[in-house]
Structure 1
Amino acid sequence: MLNSYIRLAVCHHLMPLSRPTRLRGFMKELEERIAQQGTVKPGNVLKVDAFLNHQCDVELFDHMGAAWAEHFKGKTIDKILTIEASGIGIACVVARHFGNVPVVFAKKAQSINLDGDQYTTTVYSFTKQKEFPVIVSKRYLNEGDHVLLIDDFLANGKALKGLIELCHEAGATVEGIGIAVEKGFQGGGDQLREEGYDVDSLAIVESMDPENGTIEFRS
């Protein structure tokens, strides 16, 4: 599907609470990049590898970090947790906006480098259509940690729920969740919000059509 067929639309009937103008600017920037460079593929897949999860636009990541620093200001955040692999680059740039706090990424497979006690759970990947383990060493996720979860995509929320489970097991507090692109039509983000989590998604895709490349964003 040619990118020229992708148009930007807004669903005004799904308006959330108003946000500062600066944050709306960051949301608009990401939406425009998705509209210009994203590709809608069959199976509810949105390909944004030109700037988000294959080739990485570090300046865009920096803007994301600034937006989340504004949204989560006033909260104690002393660690960022993500999952390999696409969330790592974003998380590392974002950490600069939170005082260079440590970034921990959960691994999806056992390896000889993973030794000692571990927190482990299993989650289902929407894009890969299979289950995989999520593993974090107990050395790097501790009781009393105040954690910000960061990831590139949020669809059905399974991966994030896995990270939340690891935090609860460790006795850490999930202070918030920062997402670059949320697929609002798959419900994972809204379910997490209903459970009381502060989920800040910079772009929420409300619908997309692989036939004509249309992408509609929640405003």
Structure 2
Amino acid sequence: MREIGKVFAEKFKDTGITKVVTIEASGIAPALYATEALDVPMIFAKKAKNITMNEGILTAEVYSFTKQVTSTVSIASKFLTPKDKVLIIDDFLANGQAAKGLIQIIEEAGAHVEAVGIVIEKSFQDGRALLEEASYPVVSLARLERFENGQVVFKEADI
């Protein structure tokens, strides 16, 4: 996992990233190692509502096609500023709804999304197209093209 973080850091080291944002829980590990290598803070969006925090919370609805549930993800607004250049890191990209929700929160805070870094992309789904059509660069370390005869067929990765 540390090597994954280093690969993302090398790719984005000259972009002026000030924060890395992810969603709990599976995105935390790759995001943490990317922040370690970039030497910037990490913020993770919570999926469960915190009953002690009601003010200054930015939220977005995120639908999981895998789990067939909608979650309200949230980040305290005090953690993002208009000066921030954000790298979103997540473990999987399928339909792009998690990244779309994070983008909504980040932009509501006035911060700028520099790119979306993905560990494994399901290229046969439309997440990449959704993000790129909205002008968000996507960098995936592994891209699954399809499943054939019980085997995974990969596309060329971005790095």
Give me the TM-score of the superposition, normalised by structure 2: 0.92
Give distance in 2, aligned partners of 1:175 and 1:113.
31
Cα drift, residue 161 of structure 1: 0.3
Kindly report which structure 2 residues correspond to 1:113-132, keeping only aligned pairs within 5 A, or say none: 113-132=52-71
Q: Highest Rg: 1 or 2?
A: 1
Instruction: Give the aligned partner of residue 97 of structure 1.
Output: 37
CA positional deviation for 1:107: 0.7
SS of residue paired to 1:196: coil
Q: Which amino acid aligns with 1:129?
A: Q
What secondary structure is seen at the aligned counterpart in 1 of 2:131? helix
Distance in structure 2 (CA, Å) of the matches to 1:112 and 1:102: 25
Matching residue within 125, 134, 138 for 1:195: 134
Aligned to 1:205: 144
Tell me if 1:88 matches 2:25. no
Counterpart in the other structure of 1:143: 82
The partner residue of 1:218 within 148, 155, 158 is 155
Could you tell me how far apart the structure 1 residues matched to 2:130 and 2:54 are? Answer: 34
CA distance in 2, matches of 1:90, 1:163: 16
1:184–1:190 CA contact under 8 A, matched in 2: no
Alpha-carbon displacement from aligned partner over 1:119-155 (angstroms, at most 9, x marks no partner): 0110101221011101111111222211110000000
For the pair 1:167 / 2:106, whether they are aligned, the reply is yes
User: Helix, strand or coil: the match of 1:139?
Assistant: helix
Q: CA deviation at 1:115?
A: 4.2
| Aligned-pair CA distance for 1:113 | 4.4
Aligned length: 156
Aligned-partner Cα distance in 2 for 1:166–1:157: 14
Q: Which has the higher strand share?
A: 2
Q: Deviations along 1:29-70, whole A, 9 cap, x unmatched?
A: xxxxxxxxxxxxxxxxxxxxxxxxxxxxxxxx2211221122
**1:7-86 alignment runs, 5 A limit:** 61-86=1-26
Alpha-carbon RMSD: 1.3
Distance 1:217 1:122 in 2: 31
* Equivalence for 1:8: none
SS in 2 for 1:109: coil
Greater per-residue helix proportion: 1
Of 132-141 and 156-165, the range deviating more from structure 2 = 132-141
Secondary structure, aligned partner of 2:8: helix
Runs of at least 4 residues of structure 1 off by over 4 A?
A: none
Q: CA deviation at 1:106?
A: 0.4
AA in 2 matched with 1:149: I
Q: Percent identity?
A: 47
Comparing 140-149 with 112-121, greater Cα deviation is found at 112-121
Q: TM-score of the superposition, structure 1-length normalised?
A: 0.68
